[in-house]
């Protein structure tokens, strides 16, 4: 007997980067940080009192909200925490868009979870193509009938970023629409839209501890915005899960967000290696848009994206591949350590020869 709902039978779920266990790989497919988290985060984990695990965490993740508010220069009422930025983004769909309204607008080549969330919550969507150079067509998005926008900045999987001045011009031009800035990779760019949340009530910035903070295993993310927007997220959270941020994650992430000096140094190392690796890929004949993230979107060589992906995987190097128009010409490569990237480029040279 078939027990699944029509939605469960028909929806196309998000596909995460593969995590094969058959051998040891150089893992450049899920945009994890190649360096460890802050020593302060590690210290908080070691000092965590296990006996407190019998108690529920605070529903509002108050300790972490306070730490984030200090780091971002906003009030605690302007911060919301969730179980990864994916959960924050998911809650934003029913919080801010109606199933029978004009819905949300996002790019065609961007974080594919937006498409999944829109389908899951029955939110209408309008998809606007990127330009040929993979930049956002903000003017076309502005002219699109919708209630708001999802803009991954820097974008995934292209890595292309939008500067703060350009973003502010866009935000100011659509005061009646919500602009949700998905800044998972922003620390590798340094043009965050958080300052805009103090000037414009229609901006919500979503961030994660998974990338620059090297805490992907903790599953924690947050949003910064006007108190009314934050209240909307809380209303949705409390219809779904009262305690999305556990006690361990709250303690570790609060310690991490306070150690800005450590993360600035780590981020600078990744950015320097990103530029070196991009130059090497360009010299091999790849098309590589200028990235503002911790990964590179590389392709349009004489091998298809699938051939590059399969050849590298056989050699023990994982990169991300999508079998979709345009994307199938490329692979997405996480910036690893210099040693990991050295193995990657040597294997690419073998494949291309």
Chain centroid to CA 27: how far? 18
Give yes or no for a contact between 149 and 141, defined as CB atoms under 8 angstroms apart.
Answer: yes
Structure tokens given for 227: 């108190």
Q: Name which CATH class applies to 6-36+261-352.
A: alpha beta
pTM, two decimal places: 0.96
- How do residues 285-324 score in pLDDT, each as one tens digit? 999 999 999 999 999 998 999 999 999 999 999 999 999 9
CATH of the domain spanning 39-259: 3.40.640.10
DSSP string for residues in 177-224: SEEEEE-TTGGGT---SHHHHTT-TTEEEEEESSSTT--GGG--EEEE
Q: How high is the pLDDT of residue 1?
A: 59
Q: How high is the pLDDT of residue 23?
A: 85
Q: How high is the pLDDT of residue 17?
A: 85
Pairing of strands 125-128, 104-107: parallel
What residue ranges do the domains of the chain occupy? 6-36+261-352, 39-259
Percent of residues in the chain assigned helix, strand, coil, to nearest 5: 45, 15, 45
Q: How high is the pLDDT of residue 219?
A: 96
What's phi and psi for 223, nearest 5 deg?
-125, 150
Structure tokens given for 9: 């039978």
Eight-state DSSP code of residue 329? G
List, run by run, the mean pLDDT of 10-residue segments along the chain (353 residues): 88 88 92 97 96 95 98 98 98 97 96 96 97 96 96 98 98 98 98 98 98 97 98 97 96 97 97 98 97 97 95 97 93 98 97 92
């Amino acid at each position: 007997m078939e027990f699944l709902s029509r939605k469960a039978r028909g929806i196309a779920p998000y596909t995460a980067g593969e995590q094969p266990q058959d051998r040891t790989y150089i893992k450049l497919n899920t945009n994890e940080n190649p360096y460890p988290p802050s020593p302060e985060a590690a210290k908080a984990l070691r000092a965590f009192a296990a006996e407190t695990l019998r108690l529920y965490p605070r529903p509002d993740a108050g300790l972490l909200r306070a730490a984030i508010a200090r780091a971002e220069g906003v009030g605690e009422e302007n911060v919301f925490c969730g179980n990864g930025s994916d959960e924050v983004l998911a809650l934003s769909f029913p919080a801010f868009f109606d199933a029978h309204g004009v819905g949300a607008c996002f790019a065609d080549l961007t974080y594919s979870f937006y498409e999944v969330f829109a389908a899951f919550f029955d939110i209408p969507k309008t998809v606007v193509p990127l330009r040929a150079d993979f930049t956002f067509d903000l003017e076309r998005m502005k002219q699109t009938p919708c209630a708001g926008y999802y803009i991954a900045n820097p974008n995934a999987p292209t890595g292309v970023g939008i500067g703060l001045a350009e973003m502010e011009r866009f935000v100011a031009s659509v005061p009646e629409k919500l602009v949700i800035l998905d800044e998972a990779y922003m620390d590798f760019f340094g043009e965050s839209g958080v300052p805009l949340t103090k000037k414009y009530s229609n901006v919500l910035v979503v961030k994660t501890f998974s990338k620059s903070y090297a805490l992907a295993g903790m599953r924690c993310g947050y949003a910064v915005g006007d108190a009314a927007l934050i209240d909307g997220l809380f209303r949705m959270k409390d219809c779904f899960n009262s305690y999305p941020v556990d006690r361990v994650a709250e303690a570790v992430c609060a310690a991490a967000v306070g150690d800005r000096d450590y993360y600035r140094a780590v981020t600078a190392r990744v950015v320097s290696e990103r530029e070196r690796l991009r130059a090497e890929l360009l010299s091999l004949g790849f098309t590589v848009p200028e990235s503002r993230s911790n990964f590179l979107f590389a392709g349009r060589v004489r091998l298809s994206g699938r051939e590059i992906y399969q050849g590298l995987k056989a050699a023990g190097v994982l990169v991300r591949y999508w079998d979709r128009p345009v994307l199938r010409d490329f692979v997405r490569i996480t910036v690893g350590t210099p040693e990991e990237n050295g193995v990657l480029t040597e294997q690419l040279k073998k494949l291309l020869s």
